[in-house]
Structure 1
Amino acid sequence: MILSNFVVGQGPRPTVMLHGFLGTGRNLRTLATAWSAADPERRLLLPDLTGHGTSPGLPADATLAGVARDVLDTARAAGLDGPLDVVGHSLGGRVALALSQLAPEAVARVDLLDITPGPVPHALSESGKVLEVLRAAPARAADRKAMREELTGRGLSGGLSDWLLMNLEPAPEGGVRWRFDREALAHFHGRFLGEDLWPALTRPGLPVRCIRGGRSQYVDERAQARMEALGCPVETLPEAGHFVHIDAAEAVLRWLQAGRV
């Protein structure tokens, strides 16, 4: 399956940047643009993951490996040849690790943005809480303002609601509707949170790093210690939350540049 995508930069070094759950490739555009300017050798592919943005929907039995295969097919179709550097935030990081297991020869390195290889308890999942509100919202509304009121009325912040509203499209019968399949995403959410990706860190010769937000719960001290014991260094940005690339954009860019091998 070929995913919706766009490319930043025209350098020879193939790099894939993967967004988090309920996001799109556009979420990483600012970081990709800054990285391309700082390192012109990069060619950065930013897809909308399967079931997200304008990409095809998720199959009923969707798995991380299946989504990873779609990413690889898309990268090759876009002309990114050879081993890929893969950067992934949240769900995107888990897809990156799954890709390194699915096609080891296709992945040169993995950079994780605030995500652990281990199963994530649903109670700690910020995306799970957002998904519950999203599923409770109506399928369509008269306009974006009305849908925003639905989301904020159920407890989401204005900023988070505006981010989710990027997934609206015109409805044939008038008004706006959700572009993605909320129930398919909910089923996939439960599956991908439960997958154990620790074996990906034991592959010889695969550099894996992680940068975590000090105010985020996704990579706790226990997970950090296990990751570092497996040769995956973890850097902490004390004032950042889960969206490290937004909360501390310059620090994340410096970290990405420092990982050049």
Structure 2
Amino acid sequence: MLLNGKSRGEGSPLVLIHGLFGDLDNLGGLAKSLAQHFCVYQIDLPNHGQSYHTEDMDYQSQSDAVIAWMNTQHLETVTLVGHSMGGKVAMAIAQRFPERVTQLVVMDIAPVDYQVSRHDNVFNALHETQTVTLDNRQQAQSVMNRTIENPGVTQFLLKSLYKTDHGHYDWRFD
């Protein structure tokens, strides 16, 4: 199983890795700017965007998936840019496969174990949406607004809601 991705620009390879609940388009503005100097690859991590879903969601599995994707793209070494959880994945790659990373840029995360659960309300809201059949985006938003106070967070999450072939809505992340 391979990661979903796209590329733009020319030059040395640079891989952008999004954060939790995101997808390859989250860093689109950065990709556009960097494509003037690099061949920029944007990827969907497993359980995100249009990549495959799996039970394995640890940083080792995520970094293995990125390395497998790099191998299929014939990318021996890359610059990695990771945001939030993507930064943790990028750090895992740099630690486990240092010979594959020419530069590492990590945004909005540190190489420590966080002891505070900052996203419990998000997880609770997403679990709530799984208890009903979602017939439209407004319904999902209404369910999530019961738990999530910040409308920007809800809007960010709704970017990953899509209409299935059966006419209902589901999440692109697992």
- Could you tell me the TM-score, scaled by structure 2's length? 0.90
Which entry has the higher C-alpha Rg, 1 or 2? 1
Q: 2:39 matched to which residue of 1?
A: 43
Q: Is the 8 A contact 2:128 2:143 kept in 1?
A: no
Q: Deviations over 1:195-226 (max 9, x none)?
A: xxxxxxxxxxxxxxxxxxxxxxxxxxxxxxxx
Q: Is the 8 A contact 1:14 1:82 kept in 2?
A: no
Whether 1:154 and 2:142 are equivalent positions in the alignment is: no
Is the alpha carbon distance of 1:171 and 1:140 closer, same or farther for their aligned partners in structure 2, counting shifts above 3 Å? farther
Q: Is the 8 A contact 2:15 2:78 kept in 1?
A: yes
Q: 1:129 matched to which residue of 2?
A: 121
Q: Structure 1: where are the runs of 5+ without partners?
A: 182-261
Q: 1:19 matched to which residue of 2?
A: 18
Q: 2:159 matched to which residue of 1?
A: 166
Paired with 2:5 and 2:165, the residues of 1 have a C-alpha distance of: 25
CA-based RMSD of the aligned residues comes to: 1.8
Which secondary structure state, in structure 2, belongs to the residue aligned with residue 122 of structure 1?
Answer: coil
Q: Is the 8 A contact 1:68 1:96 kept in 2?
A: yes
Q: Structure 2: where are the runs of 5+ without partners?
A: none
Q: Is the 8 A contact 2:148 2:154 kept in 1?
A: no
Q: 2:136 matched to which residue of 1?
A: 143
Q: Deviations over 1:73-124 (max 9, x none)?
A: 2123224x2321101111001101111122121111211101110101133x
Q: Deviations over 1:113-157 (max 9, x none)?
A: 01110101133x3x3432222122235311111111111232343
Q: Is the 8 A contact 2:47 2:54 kept in 1?
A: yes
Whether 1:77 and 2:72 are equivalent positions in the alignment is: yes
The count of residues paired between Structure 1 and Structure 2 equals 173
Alignment of 1:77-226 (within 5 A): 77-79=72-74, 81-123=75-117, 125=118, 127-138=119-130, 140-181=133-174
Percent identity between matched residues is 28
Paired with 1:156 and 1:137, the residues of 2 have a C-alpha distance of: 16
Is the alpha carbon distance of 1:76 and 1:95 closer, same or farther for their aligned partners in structure 2, counting shifts above 3 Å? same
Paired with 1:83 and 1:179, the residues of 2 have a C-alpha distance of: 29
Q: Is the 8 A contact 2:17 2:86 kept in 1?
A: yes
Paired with 1:63 and 1:128, the residues of 2 have a C-alpha distance of: 18
Q: Deviations over 1:40-94 (max 9, x none)?
A: xx111111001111100122x4321111111122123224x23211011110011
Paired with 2:159 and 2:133, the residues of 1 have a C-alpha distance of: 14
Q: 1:6 matched to which residue of 2?
A: 6
How far off its partner does 1:160 sit? 1.8
Whether 1:66 and 2:51 are equivalent positions in the alignment is: no
How far off its partner does 1:172 sit? 4.3
Is the alpha carbon distance of 1:140 and 1:131 closer, same or farther for their aligned partners in structure 2, counting shifts above 3 Å? same
Paired with 2:109 and 2:167, the residues of 1 have a C-alpha distance of: 39
2:2 maps to amino acid: I
1:24 maps to amino acid: D
How far off its partner does 1:33 sit? 0.3
- Could you tell me the TM-score, scaled by structure 1's length? 0.61
Paired with 2:120 and 2:107, the residues of 1 have a C-alpha distance of: 18
